Amino acid sequence: MAQHDFTIDNQLFPAFRTDLNNALQSLASSSSGSSAPSTNFAGQIFYNTSTNQLSIRNEDNDAYILIAELDQTNDTVEYFKSDSVRTALIEFTDGDDAITIADGGAITTSGDATVTGNLVLGGSNKELRFMEGSNYVGFEAPALTGNQIFVLPASDGTANQVIQTDGSGNLSFATATAGATGGGTDQIFFENSRVMTTNYTITSSKSAHCVAPLTINAGVTLSIPSGERLVLL
């Protein structure tokens, strides 16, 4: 503990020197102690050794304003703020790495940014943009009534494969089955399933065909609009 009232009394030299050294020690240690000094001055710095908090006396000299809390174990500091940061620009630079928070909240960094939690883009019609020069590729969520998560494939597919979903948000690469198929690069055969398990309506102004036999499961409906045709081969 090093606190002093900063008043040097009239006294003989040995006592004067001790009193002066105590005052200087109090200044050097930021008036450190387990509680605030009994005598305070506007602008005085006080370090609380019980809470590891650093404070400054206000101009009215009736309270201390908390500045920061020091982690004496890890040798780090956490700064305190009131309702907001009152500067239009915050800039941190350390060698070649820099981060800037501009007025309005735009954040710019010249290094990699690592996020250990979820990265959330708030509001509607916001885009995730990947820049290339002055142009970008953007992704935007549609209008939603609930959350939707897509899980990306664990590895790349082969040439000409497409991305498919299992209906639960899990994406994977698969070979497209539309159109003709065959051995190697042959495109000769059109293959279709022979059991219908889901309701289907042939598209208006379209005709359709499939190779029989065709079994329509109980409770499943195949609708053919007026004027359209279904051909069973």
CA dihedral 118, 122, 113, 127 (to 10 degrees): 110
Positive or negative: CA dihedral 101, 107, 108, 114: positive
Count of beta carbons in the 10 Å neighbourhood of residue 200: 14
The SS3 of residue 114 is: coil
Distance CA 96, CA 145 (A): 44
Its pTM stands at 0.41
The pLDDT, as a whole number, for residue 82 is 56
Give pLDDT tens digits along the chain (233 positions).
589 999 999 999 999 999 999 999 999 999 999 999 999 999 999 999 999 999 999 999 999 999 998 989 988 888 876 554 445 555 666 666 577 777 777 888 877 888 899 988 888 888 999 999 999 999 999 999 999 999 999 999 988 889 999 999 999 998 776 677 778 878 788 888 899 999 999 988 889 999 999 999 999 999 999 999 999 99
Instruction: Encode pLDDT of 81-95 as tens digits.
Output: 655 444 555 566 666
For residue 162, the cross-strand partners are 174
Give the N- to C-terminal CA distance of the chain in Å, as an integer.
98
The pLDDT, as a whole number, for residue 90 is 59
Residue 229 sits at the vertex; the CA angle it makes with 223 and 233, to the nearest 5 degrees, is 105
The pLDDT, as a whole number, for residue 86 is 47
Instruction: Encode pLDDT of 142-152 as tens digits.
Output: 999 999 999 99
| Domain boundaries of the chain, sorted by first residue | 13-79, 85-113, 146-191, 195-232
Cβ-Cβ contacts under 8 Å for 37 (sequence gap 6 or more): 3, 4, 5, 26, 31, 44, 46
Distance CA 69, CA 51 (A): 8
Distance CA 165, CA 152 (A): 10
The pLDDT, as a whole number, for residue 112 is 84
